[in-house]
Amino acid sequence: MNVHTRPKAGKATKSAKVAAKAAAPGGSEAIAPDCAGADFYAVDRGLQQLLALYLPPAELAHMEPHFKRLGVLAGGRLDELARIADRNGPVLHARDRAGRDEDWIEYHPAYREMERIAFGDFQFHAMSHRPGVLGLDAPLHPVAKYACQYLFVQGEFGIMCPISVTDTSIYLIRKYASPQLKDYLLPRMLSADPAVQWKGTQFMTEKAGGSDIGRVETVAKNEGGTWRLWGEKWFCSHADADVALILARPEGAPAGTKGLALFALPRRLEDGSRNSYRIVRLKDKLGTRSMASGEIRLEGAVAYPVGRLDQGLKQMMDQVNLSRLSHGVRAAAMMRRCVNEALAAARHRVAFGQPIIAHPLLRRQLMKLIVPTEQALSMAMCAAWVMGEADRGSAEAEACLRILTPLVKFRACRDNVAVATGAMEVRGGNGYIEEWVNPRLVRDAQIGLLWEGTSNINALDVITRAVGKSRAHKALEALLRRRLGETKGLPAPLMGRLDTALTRAVALAETVAAEPASEPQARRAASALYHAASAVLLAWEGTRDAADARRALFARFVLDHRLSPRDPLAAEDAAWEPDAIAAVLDGGPVPLARAARLLAG
C-alpha cells in the first residue's frame, strides 16, 4: 500500500489486505522488523542535507565514504555489539589474581570490539586535535566530527561517554596544562594504538553535590612538591580511565567554587605502579549499561595540577560545555534511531485491516516523534558549525555557541525521553521486550536529563548566565535574523509568524533573566528560545535546496504545536496537516513550490 496517501478510515486497500493476510495468527511475519542491517546514513536525508549546507564541499567529498561506512556499521555490527554489551555489563574485580589490591574492570569482548572501532579505526578521541584521522591532513571540522558521533550513537550510546570524555580531556590538557604535562600526557592520549593509548575521563560529582559543585570535599595536599588527593567521588563514568580530570580543594583554599582546582589524576604512576585510589564499586544503572560508572576513593593519589589552581571550575567548565554539546548530538542521534524504528514498525505492522502507518491518529503520533528529532538535528548541526566559526576567531560565533550549548543539551535531551517512549509505543508490546532495541533506547534516554547538569541547571545556565550575564542571546538572534533574511520562497504569513516567534522568545528570555522572581519560568523561556530558533533554522534549511524543502514543513509544525496558544477545550483547525504529514511520511523529496503550497494551507 502507498503509505503516502491518506486512507479512508475503515477501508483497506488491496495491498493492505494482502499484508493483513500475511499477518495471520501465529505467523511471525506479523511481527514488525527492527532496523537491524539498515544503513543509517543512507536513510537520513536530513543529515545529508545539513552536511551539504554546513561542510565545505571538499571536506564533505572526503568524509562521505566514512559517513557511509559508519552508517552501515551503526545499523549493523555496532548494533549487534551494543545489544551484547548492554546485556553483559562490566564487572569490577577488587584484586588481581595474585591478591594485590589492584582493582580492574572486566569488559565483554563486544565492548572491546566497539572500543577498537571507536578509538582505533575512527579515532573519535583525536579527530579534533590532530591531522591523520580518516586520511585528513588537518583536524576534522566540528560538523564532521559531530556527524560521526551522531551516526555512531544510533548503534551504541554507552561507549560514547568514554569516547567523548577522552576527546574533551585532551582539549583541556592542550589548553591549560603546563608544557611538561602536555609532553607527558598528550602523546599517550592522542595515540590510536591500544598498547600505548591513555583514555580520559572527568570526576567532579561527590555525595555532597553534583549541581552544587562548590560543595566538593576532596582535598589536595602539596607534600614536598607532589600533590596528593584525599576524598571520594560519587559518580565516575569510565571509572577505569587512564587519566581523570578531577576537581579538588587545595588545603587552605576558600570554600565554594572559587577554591576548586583542576588536577589530572593518572591511573598509573610514572614507574608503572598503581596510583593510590580505588574503584570501590560500580553503579547498578538504569541505562548506559555497557559502560562502567563507579565510585572511587582517593587515598593520597598523586595528581598533577592543570592550569591555575584558583581557576579549576572555570577551566573544567570548558569540558562540561563540550560534553553538553555532545549530549545534544547524542540525543538527536537516539531520537533518529527511535524514528527509524517507529517507521519500520509502523510500515509493517497491520491492525484493523491495514498497516498501522495508515491510521490517521498514528500518523500524527509519528510526526510528534519526527519533528523534535529534526529540531535537535538542526540545532546540533548549527551549534557545530558555529563552533567551527568560533575556532576561526569569530566573537559572535563564540557567543552563539555559549547559548546554543546548554539550549541543545536541555531541550534535545528532554525531547529524547518522550520520543523514545513514543517509539516504544509504536512497536506495541514488543517495544517493551528487551529482545528489541526500544527498551535500551528508553533506558539510555534518561541519562541525558542528569549528567553534565540536569534540565533545571541547563535551563538556568541559558537564562540567568547566557542571557542575563553574557547577553549571548543577542548573537544568536543576529544569526537567526540573517537566516530569516536569506529564507525565500515561503508564504509571507509563515515568515511573519517566524519573525514574531523569534522576537517574542527573545523578549521572554530577557524578561525572565532580568527578574529574579521569574526564575521558575527559566525552563519555559529556554524551551521557547529553542523552539523559535529551531523553527527559523528549519525554514532556512528547507529553502536552501529547491528540489527538497521538506524541512520547511517541520518549521510550521514547531510554530503550530510549540509556539502558539491552544485552547484545550476547542477542536483544532489543522486542515493543512494530513497532506503535510503525507508529504513527510512518503519519503520522497518535497519541491519548494509544493512545500510553499502546503504551508499556505
462, 410 Cβ separation under 8 angstroms: yes
107 or 235: whose CB is closer to ligand FAD?
Answer: 235
447 or 581: whose CB is closer to ligand FAD?
Answer: 447
Closest contact distance (angstroms) between CB of 263 and ligand FAD is: 13
Backbone dihedral region for residue 238 (phi beyond 0: left; psi -120 to 50: alpha; all else: beta): left
Closest contact distance (angstroms) between CB of 167 and ligand FAD is: 14
**CA separation for the pair 35, 77 (Å, rounded):** 12
149 or 319: whose CB is closer to ligand FAD?
Answer: 319
What contacts 203, CB < 8 A, 6 or more positions away? 233, 235, 236, 244, 245, 246, 247, 265, 296
176, 182 Cβ separation under 8 angstroms: no
Closest contact distance (angstroms) between CB of 211 and ligand FAD is: 3
**CA separation for the pair 25, 5 (Å, rounded):** 28
285 or 524: whose CB is closer to ligand FAD?
Answer: 285
Closest contact distance (angstroms) between CB of 233 and ligand FAD is: 7
**Burial environment of residue 486 by CB neighbours within 10 A (0 to 12, 13 to 18, 19 or more):** exposed
211 or 503: whose CB is closer to ligand FAD?
Answer: 211
285 or 594: whose CB is closer to ligand FAD?
Answer: 285
288 or 487: whose CB is closer to ligand FAD?
Answer: 288
381 or 526: whose CB is closer to ligand FAD?
Answer: 526
Closest contact distance (angstroms) between CB of 255 and ligand FAD is: 17
Amino acid code (one letter) for 575: A
32 or 160: whose CB is closer to ligand FAD?
Answer: 160
365 or 527: whose CB is closer to ligand FAD?
Answer: 527
> Measuring CA to CA, which residue among 325, 298, 178 is closest to residue 244?
298
Handedness of CA 276, 281, 287, 291 (dihedral sign): positive
Closest contact distance (angstroms) between CB of 215 and ligand FAD is: 9
* Residue with smallest beta-carbon separation from ligand FAD: 210
Backbone dihedral region for residue 489 (phi beyond 0: left; psi -120 to 50: alpha; all else: beta): left
Closest contact distance (angstroms) between CB of 21 and ligand FAD is: 47
What contacts 118, CB < 8 A, 6 or more positions away? 124, 125, 152, 159, 163
324 or 483: whose CB is closer to ligand FAD?
Answer: 324
Closest contact distance (angstroms) between CB of 450 and ligand FAD is: 5
Angle between helices 142-153 and 312-348 (to 10 degrees): 50
443 or 497: whose CB is closer to ligand FAD?
Answer: 443
162 or 422: whose CB is closer to ligand FAD?
Answer: 162
Closest contact distance (angstroms) between CB of 405 and ligand FAD is: 16
**Burial environment of residue 11 by CB neighbours within 10 A (0 to 12, 13 to 18, 19 or more):** exposed
Closest contact distance (angstroms) between CB of 199 and ligand FAD is: 13
Closest contact distance (angstroms) between CB of 80 and ligand FAD is: 24
Per residue in 144-172, is it b (16+ CB within 10 Å) or e — as a string?
Answer: bbbbbbbbbbbbbbbbbbbbbbbbbbbbb
Closest contact distance (angstroms) between CB of 566 and ligand FAD is: 27
Closest contact distance (angstroms) between CB of 205 and ligand FAD is: 3
Where do runs of H (alpha helix) occur along 304-359?
A: 312-348
Closest contact distance (angstroms) between CB of 305 and ligand FAD is: 18
Q: Coil, strand, or helix at residue 592?
A: helix
Binding site for ligand FAD (CB under 6 A): 202-205, 209-212, 235-237, 283, 285, 288, 293, 447, 450-451, 453-454, 456-457
**CA separation for the pair 21, 265 (Å, rounded):** 63
29, 37 Cβ separation under 8 angstroms: no
Where do runs of H (alpha helix) occur along 515-576?
A: 522-542, 550-562
317 or 457: whose CB is closer to ligand FAD?
Answer: 457
In the Cβ-directed half-sphere of 183, how many Cα atoms lie within 13 Å?
Answer: 3
Per residue in 379-402, is it b (16+ CB within 10 Å) or e — as a string?
Answer: bbbbbbbbbbbbeeeeebbbbbbb
> Measuring CA to CA, which residue among 247, 251, 165 is closest to residue 200?
165
> Measuring CA to CA, which residue among 96, 561, 140, 541 is closest to residue 365?
561
Closest contact distance (angstroms) between CB of 124 and ligand FAD is: 18
Would you mind telling me the total number of residues written for the chain in this entry?
601
Backbone dihedral region for residue 301 (phi beyond 0: left; psi -120 to 50: alpha; all else: beta): beta
Q: DSSP letter for 400, please.
A: H
293 or 487: whose CB is closer to ligand FAD?
Answer: 293
Amino acid code (one letter) for 139: P
